[in-house]
Structure 1
């Protein structure tokens, strides 16, 4: 099994509940074991005029192939009302593969490590709750270096769920 980290986000239809339902769905995936979930964090949307996001990261131990897992994640999103109307629009649920073991993946549908994660505090800080302190991404970057370059600004850690 490989350790996979999934970024989760929602800013529509009771976002914290959307994430809780997503965690339950992740735990039901075949050939997969839910290994942990970070705290939930709230942050402003990257685009003005959208509701605030609730974000978290889940750790999975998984035997699924990367694109099979991606299809399963997109099915969970669709099942929770995700409509892909625009790339950066508000959403009931967004599930992104952040890291897939020690793999570099460059497929038309999937890039791992997830692009731009190094600049997103709402990804890095929840990830750091679950990942080993010395985590090295497949591209050679250290998580602790990414954290040092991305201040905990604009994030609010929510009380335990």
Structure 2
């Protein structure tokens, strides 16, 4: 890798096809992005869809170190989703793969196609629990310690696979 890198957290989810295999393959694919390396990945978790129907999701959070700038990283994530057959037919539609840029270092971004930190990450057990597994003391820029939001998501069903 060239130049400096930034620690980024990527939310990963799938609920169509072999969701567990899709999540595992997506994690491996993240490590192949240019100027990027996979640092760590949480366990896989099974969760019920939030604000949607369909099968349960398989979710994880990966930590990468990348020299890609946020828009380029987002495009790379969308390219991986496309490789996995992702279609964006309607909001919260079932998906073969969903990759969300949750955190990009300590940066706060509000761009037309990208908001970082991810705007609902602190409301979702399927993001918070795997994120806290990777770093129990992580802060969500502009919001504070991630663990402070865990009690609010305690009622959301999540099962470690």
TM-score scaled by structure 1?
0.93
4+ aligned runs moved over 4 Å, structure 1: none
8 Å CA contact retained: 2:44, 2:58: yes
8 Å CA contact retained: 2:52, 2:92: no
Kindly report the root-mean-square deviation, in angstroms, between the aligned alpha carbons of the 2 structures. Answer: 1.2
CA distance in 2, matches of 1:152, 1:62: 34
CA distance in 1, matches of 2:117, 2:95: 22
Q: Does 1:135 find its partner at 2:138?
A: yes
Deviations 1:91-141 (A, max 9, x none): 00000000000000100100011011111001000001112x322222141
- 1:33 is matched with 37
Deviations 1:65-95 (A, max 9, x none): 0000000000000000101111210000000
Task: Quote the offset at 1:48 in angstroms.
Answer: 5.1
- 1:5 is matched with 9
Q: 1:59 to 1:152 in 2, by over 3 A?
A: farther
CA distance in 2, matches of 1:137, 1:117: 9
SS at match of 2:153: coil
SS at match of 1:89: coil
| Number of matched pairs | 157
- 2:63 is matched with 59
Worse-matched range after superposition: 48-57 or 84-93: 48-57
CA distance in 1, matches of 2:137, 2:90: 36
Equivalent residue in structure 2 for 1:15, among 13, 19, 23: 19
SS at match of 2:80: helix
SS at match of 1:57: strand
Worse-matched range after superposition: 135-144 or 20-29: 135-144
CA distance in 1, matches of 2:118, 2:156: 21
CA distance in 2, matches of 1:47, 1:145: 23
